[in-house]
Amino acid sequence: MEIRQLTTFQKVAELESFSKAGHELGYSQSTVTVQIKALETELGTLLFDRFGKNVKITPDGKLLLKYVENIMNEINSLKGTLGNESARTHTLHIGTLDSLCMFTLTEILTLLREYHPEYHIKITRGSPSELTEMMEKNEVDIIYILDALYYNVHWKRVIEKKEPCIFVCGPQNPILKKDDIKLRELVKEPFYLTEADDNYQFALTQYLAFHNLSIEPVLEVGSTEVISKMIHETGGCSFLPYFAIKEHLESNYLSQIHVKNFHIDMFHQVIYMENKWVTTEMLEFIRIAKATLL
């Protein structure tokens, strides 16, 4: 049963003529006949009595007409709702990392709320692997992560920005007086790190293992602010993404430790599923994120 068949049925019932109904709808009389026949076959009943050119609706046809009128009213109401921005619920579900929530995402969301106060935004936090799994299950609309680059033919990556991860310490740390700081020497310093399963800490661990080195942190904690305070006040070093400590570096609260021939980069990435319907809310988030990050 198709909407066009119901529309044709309604018009034939109104005009009591196959030819007149066809003329108004832009169909030939034979097309109208085929559509009505298809309805009668599907419903297993006769909808119209035909007496030459005269057409009269049957009792079953009258019963169907009541239902069709309700159906068409609902369809017209639905069309009006779908085309009406004010009738929509503007929701956006973003998956992201704790560290991004504290820094760059806050700036993006502030602008998004300023431009679109009607938006209802939900944030779910997790690891990159947890977030990509949620995205693939359509449990979030879009994800914003900081991680190494991974490729998947089913993902649509709309933002990709390199973010250096660096060694830092307090500005009074004696290690800064050395002209040529070697990685082998640096790892012997007391380190304050985020949890071992953090993506950039994992990347550091892998890099060190490749060079037969390792770090035994004196403290592991999820907060970059706690780490910054600890290394500023008590000495020691850390390894963090630049964006998380940019203000501390600019104010000389922390200092970067430059290690020759060493670099590890992560990437800011905004991703959604290739086959996902892209809403206006997603497009606005992407637009503002690009303006903020790129």
164-265 CATH choice from 3.90.1150.10, 3.40.190.290, 3.40.50.11610, 3.40.50.300: 3.40.190.290
Phi and psi at residue 6, in whole multiples of 5°? -65, -40
Strand pairing partners for 124? 95
Q: Which residue has the tokens 């005009």?
A: 15
DSSP state string for the chain: --HHHHHHHHHHHHHT-HHHHHHHHT--HHHHHHHHHHHHHHHTS--EEEETTEEEE-HHHHHHHHHHHHHHHHHHHHHHHHT-GGGS--EEEEEE-HHHHHTHHHHHHHHHHHH-TT-EEEEEE--HHHHHHHHHTTSSSEEEEEE-----TTEEEEEEEEEEEEEEE-TT-GGGG-SSB-HHHHTTS-BEE--TTSHHHHHHHHHHHHTT-----SEE-S-HHHHHHHHHHH--EEEEEHHHHHHHHHTTSSEEE-BTT--EEEEEEEEEETTS---HHHHHHHHHHHHHH-
Q: What is the distance in angstroms between the CA of the first residue and the CA of the last residue of the chain?
A: 51
CA-nearest of 224, 232, 229, 250 to 172 is 232
Its pTM stands at 0.73
Instruction: Say what the pLDDT of residue 87 is.
Output: 52
Instruction: Say what the pLDDT of residue 74 is.
Output: 87
Instruction: Say what the pLDDT of residue 100 is.
Output: 94
Check if the beta carbon of residue 271 is closer than 8 Å to that of residue 140: no
pLDDT averages per 10-residue partition of the chain, 294 residues: 92 93 92 94 94 88 93 82 65 94 94 94 94 96 95 96 97 92 95 86 95 95 92 95 96 96 95 94 96 94
Check if the beta carbon of residue 95 is closer than 8 Å to that of residue 140: yes
What CATH code is assigned to 3-82? 1.10.10.10
Instruction: Say what the pLDDT of residue 52 is.
Output: 76
Domain ranges within the chain, ordered by starting residue: 3-82, 91-162+267-293, 164-265
Instruction: Say what the pLDDT of residue 78 is.
Output: 79
Identical topology for domains 3-82 and 91-162+267-293: no
Instruction: Say what the pLDDT of residue 85 is.
Output: 59
- 91-162+267-293 fold: D-Maltodextrin-Binding Protein; domain 2 (3.40.190)
